[in-house]
Structure 1
Amino acid sequence: MSQLATSTTDTAVAVPAAEASVRQPRWESLKPLVLDAAVPTASYYLLSKGFGMGTLAALAWSSVVPAGRTLWSVVKERQVNGLAALILAANVVGLLLSLVAGDPRLMLAKDSGVTATIGIAVLVSVVGGRPLMTAGLKPWVTKGNPVRMAVWERLIDERGQFARMERMFSVFWGVALLGEAAVRAVGAYTLPVDTMVWLGGVIAGVTITATVVVSGALVVDPMEKKLSEEVAALGR
């Protein structure tokens, strides 16, 4: 009976330990996305919409984290943190465009300039061999599992179909963001201002939803299937 109790206790301790070992890699893989993109974006909306801070001040304060992360990566790691630098660049563009006043149509088109900056940066990152959208794709596909993460790295290093799908994911998002920016810019100068005030958000929402669905079907699902097959082949 005591042996059974000991075995049960060991199992009870082992399960949380195993879960913790999975959560830790998952957090580590998601941390760059959270710190470099989610925190600055959420900070901007919280400061501007929640606390009524002006656009310039909200953009400036929300740039602190990506600016610090970019500087740290250059000084400490001798390389540029791509995602943090992207968010910082987008905020700088927003700051510059926010200085323009008096033309309501130009102010409506301001968001298109920020979106276009992000879209171009994402496409350039693909050409440079370091797709920026992988920061969100990898944690989703690997689910923070150490074995799946190791298989991911191997498949990427093989530079086959799996690596091409990784790049294609960023291409989908880069093209979608550029297209959305173009449509909103045209709308800002061809449609009534009152119409574009609400239509701009609809265009952005439709673009994001459509891109999630298309990239999910053509990239994410096949990558998850391939990764699962490779893991199963390892017997784990």
Structure 2
Amino acid sequence: MFPNRRPARDDSGPDTVRRRATGLLAGFAIDVGVPVAVYYCLRTAGLREPVALGLTAVVSAVRLLTVAVARRRFNGLAAFMLGLYLTGLILSVMTGDARVLLLKDSVPEGLFGLLFMGSCVIRRPLILAVVRRVQIPVGADEPGSAARHRRAMILSAVWGLSFLGFAVARIPVVLVLPLDTAVLAVNLAFGVLFTVLIIGTLVYGRPLWR
């Protein structure tokens, strides 16, 4: 009766998971790459480190607001990150030290790490909420899914330890290295860490996807 009707699209297959994970990584690459590129362009143009890093933070804040407006969704996380950008800018101006703008990122990294670890303590692995957030269907809450739940616990612990470790490691890197070097080092290292976490989650967490 409907010969030209296309079959319903399956949003639970591995292609969907890969597509959404790729989209997540692409968005992350923009969030990390654009501010770094802006910073070095400003430095090349002759601006001093504090000014270049401050303007880079403004660009990141504008990017966050633009995405929130485009998606018509300004949630608590977006508000927290925006507040963090503004706080970093204010503290940088008050202290005269641009390194504050790099050190501030240890706050969300540490908080995310604690949230992941805390979710393991209460046995409600946060990784499940994260993948659902990016609309990847999971089946770890289905009856008889104890093995899946263990995988989700392990993944949450790995994410938690990774974020906590990076939050701590960022501090000496920012304080010891020259600022121009530190900007590249921390962003490149976090980009590698996040990519490895995503790929590892896709591989090890494959049984979680329905």
TM range (shorter): 0.5 to 0.7
Choose from 183, 194, 198 the match for 1:197: 183
Q: Which residue of 2 aligns with 1:75?
A: none
**Compared with structure 1, are the counterparts of its residues 130 and 194 closer, same or farther at alpha carbon in structure 2 (3 Å cutoff)?**
same
Q: Superposition pairs for residues 146-161 of structure 1, below 5 Å?
A: 152=139, 155=142, 157-158=143-144, 160-161=146-147
Does 1 or 2 have the higher relative contact order (CA < 8 Å, sep 6+)? 2
Amino acid at match of 2:100: L
Choose from 142, 150, 168 the match for 2:154: 168
Q: Is the 8 A contact 1:123 1:171 kept in 2?
A: yes
Tell whether 2:127 aligns with 1:133.
yes
**Compared with structure 1, are the counterparts of its residues 48 and 134 closer, same or farther at alpha carbon in structure 2 (3 Å cutoff)?**
same
**Count of residues in Structure 1 that have an aligned counterpart in Structure 2:** 187
State how far apart, in whole Å, the 1-side matches of 2:122 and 2:62 are.
29
Q: Which residue of 1 aligns with 2:50?
A: none
Q: Quick check: which one's helix share is greater?
A: 1
Query: What percentage of aligned pairs have identical amino acids?
Result: 20
Amino acid at match of 1:179: G
Choose from 91, 99, 106 the match for 1:105: 99
Q: Is the 8 A contact 1:116 1:181 kept in 2?
A: yes
Choose from 180, 188, 206 the match for 2:166: 180
Q: Is the 8 A contact 1:119 1:174 kept in 2?
A: yes
Q: Deviations over 1:110-153 (max 9, x none)?
A: 2222322332233334445554432453588x966xxxx6xx16
Cα RMSD, aligned residues only: 4.8
State how far apart, in whole Å, the 1-side matches of 2:125 and 2:65 are.
22
Q: CA deviation at 1:103?
A: 0.9
Amino acid at match of 1:220: G
Q: Is the 8 A contact 2:120 2:153 kept in 1?
A: yes
Amino acid at match of 2:195: T
Q: Normalized against structure 2, the TM-score is what?
A: 0.60
State how far apart, in whole Å, the 1-side matches of 2:130 and 2:168 are.
24
Q: Unpaired runs of 5+ in structure 1? A: 1-5, 71-83, 228-236
Amino acid at match of 2:98: P
Q: CA deviation at 1:196?
A: 0.8
Q: Which residue of 2 aligns with 1:115?
A: 109
Q: Which residue of 2 aligns with 1:3?
A: none
Q: Is the 8 A contact 1:116 1:177 kept in 2?
A: yes
Q: Is the 8 A contact 1:172 1:215 kept in 2?
A: no
